[in-house]
Amino acid sequence: MAKKSEHPDSKLFDYLNAKTEEAETGLIEEHLSACDECASVAAVVRAMKNEASESEATNLSSQHPDVSELASFFYSAREGASSQVAGHVASCASCAEEVAQYAAGERAASEYQVANGTLAEIPAKAWEMISEWEESSFAKLKPAGDVINRELLERLPRILKAERSHAVSGTGDAQRVPVLVISRSGDVNSIEYFEESIDSSGTRILKHAEGSARFDQRVVHAVFDAGGKEPVVISELMQSDTLRFEQAERFEELRRADFFIIEE
Amino acid sequence: MANESATGVELDRNWLDNLSDEELVDNFLARSTKDRRDAHLCFEVIIGRYHWLISHVVRNSRYRFPAWDSADDVISRVIFKVYRGLAQWRRQGKLSSFIARIASSEMIDTIRRVGRDKSWNPRQSPADPDSDEPSPVERAASKEPSPEAQLVARERHEIVDRLLEDVCRDWKDTVIVNEYITGNKSGKEIAEKYNMSEDLVYQRARRLKVRLMNWLSERGITSAESLLTSTVAK
C-alpha cells in the first residue's frame, strides 16, 4: 500500500472550491484516495455546500437570531458565547452579511479620531423622538440597576407568590431556576429557565438553559427570602446568556430566591 | 469649568468640551433626571464628537436604503437610541464602539424590516423598469417541495447546524465556514469584508478542518450519507 502523504490543511477547501492548480489537485486527489479522515471531511463539506444552497433556495434559515443576539455574538470576546447563533451564522448568508456590517462598524470605531469641539448636528427628527420618549412613561434615564419603582416593589411579593408554584412545577429539575420576565406594570410576559451552578470561587452562576443571549446587558433582580425579615433584593447585569452573583456564600443565610427581569 | 448659578450648576460649553467621554456621560446621566436642558447640552457635545462616526457607519454600509427610508432617517434613529441607551454603556469598552454597535444594529434592523418586502433586494441596485430581465414574480419557483421533502430537508439542515454549532467557536469561525469552506470566496475577499488578516483566515480554516475531522471521527462518520441519515449527530 502506498504511503499516505501529509494532510492537505486548508488547501483541501481550495480544492473543493476548484481553486487549486492542476498539480496540486492531483496530489490532493491522491491523498483523498488513501486517507479516510480527509475523504470524510471532503464528503461532508460537499454536502454542506449543497445544504447551504438548498436552504437559501427553500428559506430554511428563516429562524434568524434577533438583532440583539447577533450583536452579543459579534461583540462577545469569549469563545463559545452562543453556539446556536454560531451554528446559524455559519450557514446563513444574510446573517453573515449582518456580521460584516458589525465588523465594518467596529473597524470604523477603532480607527475613529474623536472630533473635540465640533458643533453638534442633531437632526430635528432625532430631537422629536427624544422629546416624545422623554414625555412618555417609558423614559427612565436611570443607572442600569435602579429600575424598580415603588409601585412595582409593593406588588412584587404577590406576583412572585402567584407565579412560584407554576414556575417550579414547570422545571422538574432542581438545578433549573425559573426567571420571570415581567412588564413594568407587573404583568408576567414569560418564564425563562436558567441552569444554576456554583464555581470554585463561590460565584453563583445562572446560565440560560437554551443558551439564548436575548437578555444580554439586562438587569436581573433576585429577591432573597430572609425568613420573616424584609426580603433582600440584589440586582446583577446579565453578560450574554450568563448571570454571575459574586460571593454566593454571603447569600447562604438567606433562604430561597425568586428571580425576575423587567422587560419594557 | 461649570459655573454656579441661582438654579445650581450651569454648564459651560468649553468646560464640557474638555471632559473625557466618561465624565461627559456621567454629567449627562446625572442631569437627565433633574435638568433636561443641561442633559441635552451634554448630549449635543457627545454627538458633536461622534456624529461623523454615525454618519460614516450608516452611509458607507454595504446595504442600500429603500426610497422611503433615507440614511438621514436612520441617523436620526441612531442618535435617539444613543440618547436612550447611554446608561447601558459599559465603561470598559470605548464609547465609539458602543455607538458604532448601535448604528450597525439600527442598520440591520432597518434592512430586516424592509426585507419583508420580497421584491426589494438590499444588495442590488434598483430595478430598471425598461429592462428585459424577468421580474421577481416571473422568477419565482413554480411550486413548493412536498411537505415530506421539506421535512427531510429541515432535518438535514438541523444536523448540519448541530455540527456547525460544535465546530465554530466565535464569529470569525462562522464567517470562514460560511464564505470560504462552504462558500466560494477567497481568503483575501473575506479578510477585506470582515476586517481580519488573510493569514488569520487560513489559520482558522486549518483549525476548523482539524475540529471537523475530530468531530466526524468521534462519531464514526465516514461519509456525507452517514452524517445526514444517521442519528449519531443528534
pLDDT one-digit tens code per residue, A69-94: 899 899 886 555 567 889 889 988 88
Residue B189: its chain A contacts at CB < 8 A?
Answer: none
Q: What is the rounded distance in angstroms from the CA atom of residue A205 to the CA atom of residue A199?
A: 7
Helix (H) or strand (E) holding A127: helix A124-135
pLDDT attached to residue B6:
35
ipTM: 0.82
Pairwise CA distance, residues B25 & B19, whole Å: 9
Q: Which of B29, B105, B153 sits opposite A71 (nearest CB)?
A: B105
Reading phi first (left if > 0) and then psi (alpha if -120 to 50, else beta), residue A217 is in: left
> How far is the alpha carbon of A250 from chain B, nearest alpha carbon, in Å?
26
Would an 8 Å CB–CB cutoff place B36 in contact with chain A?
A: yes
Q: What is the pLDDT of residues B65-75, one digit of tens each?
A: 776 678 899 99
Taking CB atoms and an 8 Å limit, are A74 and B168 in contact across chains? no
Q: Are A80 and B168 in contact (CB under 8 A)?
A: no
Using CB atoms, which residue from B53, B83, B221 is nearest to A40? B221
Q: How confident is the model at residue B116 (pLDDT cuts 50, 70, 90)?
A: low
Is A54 close to B153, i.e. CB distance below 8 A?
A: yes
Across the A/B interface, how many CB contacts are shorter than 8 Å? 266
Q: What is the mean pLDDT of chain A?
A: 77
Is B175 an interface residue toward A (CB < 8 Å)? yes
Amino acid B30 reads A
> Given a cut of 90, is residue B130 above it in pLDDT?
no
The answer to pTM > 0.80 is no
Instruction: Find the CB nearest A109 among B53, B83, B224.
Output: B53
DSSP secondary structure letter of residue B178: I
- Burial class from Cβ neighbours inside 10 Å (0-12, 13-18, 19+) for residue A218 reads middle
Of chain B, the end-to-end C-alpha distance in Å amounts to 64
Residue B218 in contact with partner chain A when CB distance is under 8 A: no
- Compute the nearest-CA separation of B53 from chain A (Å): 7
- On whether any CB of chain A is under 8 Å from the CB of B120, the answer is no
Condensed to tens digits (0 to 9), the pLDDT of residues A109-140 reads 999 988 776 766 799 999 999 998 888 745 55
Q: Residue B118's pLDDT is what?
A: 47
The answer, for B123 touching chain A at a CB cutoff of 8 Å, is: yes
Residues 128-167 of A with CB under 8 A from B: 129-130, 133-134, 141-144
Please name the member of A57, A90, A103 whose beta carbon is closest to the beta carbon of B164: A90
**pLDDT-based confidence at B157, cuts 50/70/90?**
confident
Place B1 in a pLDDT band, splitting at 50, 70 and 90: very low
Using the Cβ of A241 and the Cβ atoms of chain B, whether some distance falls under 8 Å is answered with: no
Contact at 8 Å (CB) between A69 and A86? Answer: no
| CB-based contact A9 B29, cutoff 8 Å | no
Q: Is B163 on the interface with A (CB under 8 A)?
A: yes
CA A10/CA A8 separation, integer angstroms:
6
Helices (H) and strands (E) in chain B, counts: 11, 2
pLDDT category at A1 given cuts 50, 70, 90 is very low
Q: Report CB contact under 8 Å: A117, B178.
A: no
The confidence score (pLDDT) of residue A62 equals: 55
Which chain A residues are closer than 8 Å to B162 by Cβ? 87
Mean pLDDT of the A156-175 span: 61
Task: Tell me which chain B residue has its CA closest to the CA of residue A55.
Answer: B157
**B215 reaches A (C-beta below 8 A):** no
- pLDDT for the residue A146: 42
**A83: contact with B, CB 8 A cutoff:** yes
Is the separation of the CB atoms in A243 and A235 below 8 Å? Answer: no
pLDDT at A250: 56
Percent of chain A with pLDDT over 90: 17
